[in-house]
A and B are shown apart, each in its own frame.
Chain A
Amino acid sequence: ETGVTQTPRHLVMGMTNKKSLKCEQHLGHNAMYWYKQSAKKPLELMFVYNFKEQTENNSVPSRFSPECPNSSHLFLHLHTLQPEDSALYLCASSSKPGGGTEAFFGQGTRLTVV
């Protein structure tokens, strides 16, 4: 399998639930990213990891907790979310962070918070 794979593709969760989004890349990239895409809004960068180290956190609320155990896997742990957190969450990877190379995206997880 190649590319960037995200699971699950769809998730419905209550505000008191705890869930995790998973991302796996088979491209040998060093950097991985979480983006959020809300309806009618641009892509918002949430977190960046380079060689498993978090290098950017764009003022994301603590109810979103990323984890990067290795360069191929990235998780986003969710707890006590709000309805306004409903969005498409996209994982991406690139060969080196911001190094003039493009990002490849996973298929996304469509999250609905009820």
Chain B
Amino acid sequence: QKEVEQNSGPLSVPEGAIASLNCTYSDRGSQSFFWYRQYSGKSPELIMFIYSNGDKEDGRFTAQLNKASQYVSLLIRDSQPSDSATYLCAVNPYSGAGSYQLTFGKGTKLSVIP
């Protein structure tokens, strides 16, 4: 059973602080990793993806991947109240053998306090 684990939160950070969201996954063969943001009552929206070990930065967002530890994280710098949402970690174990399932974690609810 492929699993993706996230702390459900809520994670509360003051405005302007760094929010750190963490995710672990069970399938060591996983190849692609995604972070989605989901506002209440809305559909998930892709904000970052990462395939290789290390850091990937995009504006205020940084994704970090450590395949040896089976760990992926998302850092949000200078957090804004508009960042308040549920953040979903998703893992794609695609191995070229026809595995199509994108497995999602339960999500971490982030609340940025003005």
Which one, B12-20, B60-68, B70-78, B96-104, is touching chain A?
B96-104
Is there a chain B Cβ closer than 8 Å to A97's Cβ? yes
Question: Judging by beta carbons under 8 Å apart, are A42 and B101 in contact?
Answer: no
Q: Is the CB of B100 within 8 A of A31?
A: yes
User: Which chain B residues lie closer than 8 Å to A58 at the CB level?
Assistant: 101
Closest to A43 in B: B104
Q: Is B9 an interface residue (CB 8 A)?
A: no
Minimum CB–CB distance for A32 against chain B, Å: 11
Q: Of B31, B49, B90, B101, which is within 8 A of A48 by CB?
A: B101
Bound-state Cα–Cα, A41 to B88, Å: 12
Count of B residues near A, CB < 8 Å? 27
A-B CB contacts (within 8 Å), total count: 58
How many A residues have CB within 8 A of the partner chain? Answer: 25
A98 touches B107 (CB 8 A): no
For residue B92, CB closer than 8 A to chain A, the reply is: yes
Contact with A along B88-114 (1 / 0, CB 8 A): 101011100011111111110000000
Task: Kindly report which residue of chain B lies nearest to residue A35, judged by CB atoms.
Answer: B104
Collect the chain A residues with CB atoms within 8 Å of residue B102's CB.
33, 45, 98, 103
Which residues of B come within 8 Å of A, CB atoms? 4, 31-32, 34, 41-46, 49, 51, 88, 90, 92-94, 98-107
